[in-house]
Amino acid sequence: MLYETAVASSSWNPSMTDFAAARRMMVDGQVRTSDVTDLRIISAMLELPRERFVSAADAGLAYLDLDVPVAKGTVRRLLKPMVLAKMVQAAAIKAGDRVLDVGCATGYSSALLARLAREVVALEEDPALARLADENLKAVGTSNVTVATGALTEGWRTLAPYDVIFVNGATEIVPDALCHQLGDAGRLVAVVGRAPAGRAMLYRSVGGEKEASGWPIFDAAAPLLPGFAKPPAFVF
């Protein structure tokens, strides 16, 4: 198997770390101090075992202020807790919303979004990561997430339109194709720009318009998602 599973099993015991205490420290030191006031987000981040969504070897890094590797053999990362929480808060997810999580990786963001929304579609183009996401989500008792496998840049038209699209990483291009899958008054959040520079952006679809308008919400850096790099400039 290409990736080392991050799912709990009868023998899963990465370390003697007090993960419950680490979760509290993450929320108190990284999330609350960054003006995240939505108690639903705070409660979900206190409940979700973030360490289960990374490889056992990296479980001790799960609650640090880092983009943490999700598994061996991939460059994909979990977003920093502060960046994730602020982006989710900016999306203003309601209990009846349908959410598309683009680049769900091993499923942590989808598990968080599922505690806020009616339904989540967790999109991942890497089949091995998609399998891990499905296993992880079941392991933490999440039942309102559908894991889909396909190109991240294409979104998931089968279940569109969406109330919220969460782009789980950075893009160097304006995600117009994804914005087209938003319903009226739908919101899309993404980090635009390559690290270390970048801004978390909120796009909103209004009145059925094909193009969504966007504005910056805070400075942020995130790992670039596959397919979202700016095409190389043509040189004469």
Q: Using CA atoms, how far apart are residues 62 and 51, in angstroms rounded to an integer?
A: 5
Residue among 147, 166, 44 nearest 101 (CA): 166
| Residue 190 in domain | yes
| Residue 204 in domain | yes
| Residue 42 in domain | yes
CB atoms within 10 A of CB 135: 18
CATH code where residue 80 lies? 3.40.50.150
Residue among 45, 44, 43, 51 nearest 19 (CA): 51
Q: What is the pLDDT of residue 231?
A: 80
| Residue 114 in domain | yes
Task: Name the DSSP letter for residue 117.
Answer: S
| Residue 157 in domain | yes
Domain that holds residue 141: 19-219
Decide if pLDDT at 6 tops 50: no
Residue among 127, 130, 26, 123 nearest 82 (CA): 26
SS3 at position 2: coil
Give the long-range contacts of residues 146-149, CB within 8 A, separation 24 or more.
Answer: 146/119, 146/120, 146/121, 146/122, 147/104, 147/107, 147/110, 147/122, 148/121, 148/122, 148/123, 148/124, 149/123, 149/124, 149/125
pLDDT in tens, 106-118: 999 999 999 999 9
| Residue 132 in domain | yes
Per-residue DSSP letters for 17-76?
--HHHHHHHHIIIIIGGGT---HHHHHHHHHS-GGGGS-GGGGGGTTSSS-EE-STT---
Phi, then psi, of 22 in degrees rounded to 5: -65, -40
**pLDDT band at residue 27, thresholds of 50, 70 and 90?**
very high
| Residue 66 in domain | yes
Q: Which of 54-63, 140-149, 180-189, 211-220 shows the lowest mean pLDDT across its residues?
A: 211-220
**pLDDT band at residue 12, thresholds of 50, 70 and 90?**
very low
Decide if pLDDT at 81 tops 60: yes
Number of domains within the chain: 1
| Residue 183 in domain | yes
